[in-house]
């Protein structure tokens, strides 16, 4: 009985890993609910979200003045994420208003 060469072992392990990863991705895709199936509509209250963003930025500035820079960065990241959501809502409204989207 001969031992497998290192290249053969490596290729076998790589093939097995690829098959497992592909199976996991396929399983997650099949099990995940689609956005159409959910039937939910998202409502954006832009003014309320902007107020939350302003409040978070004020809180971050206060934390930074007090010397809690790590917490200030975390709160500032939350405000940035909220600003991105606001921009996504505005972009979605603008795209929906066009009669012939690109």
Per-residue pLDDT of 47-82, as tens digits, reads 999 999 999 999 999 999 999 999 999 999 999 999
pLDDT confidence of 30, banded at 50, 70, 90? low
Question: Residue 85's pLDDT is what?
Answer: 93
Q: pTM for the whole thing?
A: 0.54
Between helices 69-97 and 46-66, what is the axis angle to 10°? 160
Mean pLDDT of the chain: 80
Which of the pair, 69 or 5, is modelled with greater confidence?
Answer: 69
CA of 62: how far to CAs of 40, 41, 65, 76, in Å? Answer: 37, 36, 5, 11
Question: Residue 94's pLDDT is what?
Answer: 80
**Res. 26: pLDDT tops 50:** yes
Question: Residue 102's pLDDT is what?
Answer: 55
Structure tokens of 77?
Answer: 């990241």
């Amino acid at each position: 009985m001969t031992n497998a060469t290192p290249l053969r072992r490596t290729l076998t392990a790589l093939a097995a890993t690829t098959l497992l990863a592909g199976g996991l991705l396929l399983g997650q895709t099949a099990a995940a609910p689609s956005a159409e199936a959910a039937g939910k509509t998202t409502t954006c209250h832009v003014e309320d979200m902007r107020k939350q963003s302003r409040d978070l930025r004020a809180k971050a500035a206060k934390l930074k003045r007090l010397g809690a820079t790590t917490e200030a960065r975390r709160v500032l990241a939350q405000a940035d994420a909220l600003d991105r959501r606001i921009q996504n809502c505005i972009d979605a409204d603008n795209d929906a208003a066009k009669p012939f989207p690109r």
